Structure 1
Amino acid sequence: MQATSFTYDPETRSGSVLLDDGTPVDFGAAAFDAGGLLLLRPGQRVRIETEGEGPSARVTLVTLQTF
């Protein structure tokens, strides 16, 4: 699934993304580390993977979207 980076804290390696419908979704350090990224800037297009559905869904991977 694609999203847009919204916030990122390099100290905690956590932040949030905005889904294409505008829904904010938080991610933790484990999801950031799984993607192998070193830095994330607000506005970058990212690819995320989630586990679960609805309000209980959690992000398990954040990586840059490449075309």
Structure 2
Amino acid sequence: MTMQATVHTFDAEDCSGSVLMDNGRALEFSRAAFLASGLRLLRPGQRVSVEVGAQGVTRLWITGVGPGQRIR
């Protein structure tokens, strides 16, 4: 399921963190999910799109950044 979220925490050393979903639920994301995003850095308060599976956040990205992404 793809949704919008806001970066809550980000540890640049281990490349993991958490996001706050629009319903207030906090979800963590792993180093693997961040590295797959192609992003270099995230900052608290930044809006991102996330894909959520049974194990939590599996993918995150910023619309308009990366292959195939349109700026809307």
TM-score under structure 2 length normalisation: 0.80
Structure with bigger gyration radius = 2
Query: How many pairs align?
Result: 63
Identity between Structure 1 and Structure 2 (%): 51
Matches within 5 A, 1:29-48: 29-48=31-50
- The one of 62, 65, 70 equivalent to 1:64 is 62
- Which runs of no fewer than 5 residues in structure 2 stay unpaired? 65-71
**What secondary structure does 2:13 align onto?**
coil
- The one of 23, 30, 51 equivalent to 1:28 is 30
- Which runs of no fewer than 5 residues in structure 1 stay unpaired? none
Q: Which residue of 1 aligns with 2:67?
A: none
CA RMSD of aligned residues (A): 1.1
Over 4 Å off, 4+ runs:
none
